[in-house]
Amino acid sequence: MNALLERIDFSPYMSKLSALTVHIAAELKSELEERARRARFTVDELVEQMIRAALFRSSAEYHDPSSERAKEFRMIEAGLAEIHRGETVSWEDVEKSLDQLLGAAGSEDLPSKR
């Protein structure tokens, strides 16, 4: 399945913005700009999201096995890792598999993304 990256808000937005200046290598800045472009974010949005994710990973809530928020976060991380490893399945492959399993007549009842 092809996933479209969407903004993930881990907590409500701050009512007041504050600036933070970080000095990084030019190569890292270029990589951040490229990732932001591919995800259709600004660099500021991407970096903010990365910081929020890092802070959440080091929180007690992340390590609480009963936390629904932590479970959702881990599922999202696992899905993104699969995408980066190229382990996703195209919609066409899913339809072909369903056609083989159910037969062409049985899969006509299924919704189509075409």
Residues of the chain with pLDDT > 90: what percent? 33
Query: Which residues lie below 8 Å from residue 83, measured CB to CB, with a gap of 6+?
Result: 3
Give the pLDDT confidence score for residue 14 in this predicted structure.
57
| Averaged pLDDT score across all residues of the chain | 79
Q: Is the pTM of this model over 0.85?
A: no
Residues of the chain with pLDDT > 70: what percent? 77
> Of the given ranges (12-26, 27-41, 73-87, 100-114), which has the lowest mean pLDDT?
100-114
Can you tell me the mean pLDDT for 37-48? 90
DSSP 50-110: HHHHHHHHTSTTTT-TT-HHHHHHHHHHHHHHHHHHT----HHHHHHHHHHHHHHHHGGGS
Q: What is the pLDDT of residues 75-106, one digit of tens each?
A: 888 887 887 777 777 778 778 888 888 875 55
